[in-house]
Amino acid sequence: MVLPDHVCPFGVRAKAMLEQAGFDVDDQILATRDAVDRFEHEQGVETTPQVFIAGERVGGSDELERWLQRR
């Protein structure tokens, strides 16, 4: 989530982990609270960011970290 007065630290962390692991990142920025709420509702999740790799949802930044450690 990126707003004029807020940048999601978990999103920044997830993007950095992916780039460090050699992934190209297609960053879908949720710029409003409504966009975040809509995304969470559509995906059936309670938090952002949510990382998808090859069309499969990995999860948030903590789940991504565990996923990357298992690769």
Residue ranges of domains in the chain, CATH in brackets: 2-70 (3.40.30.10)
Residue 18 has a pLDDT of 97
Cβ 58 vs Cβ 31: under 8 Å: no
Q: Please identify every stretch of the chain with a pLDDT value under 70, giving residue numbers as ranges.
A: 1-4
Residue 23 has a pLDDT of 97
Residue 3 has a pLDDT of 65
Residue 57 has a pLDDT of 96
Residue 25 has a pLDDT of 95
What does pTM read for this prediction? 0.87
Phi, psi (5° rounding) for residue 57?
-75, 125
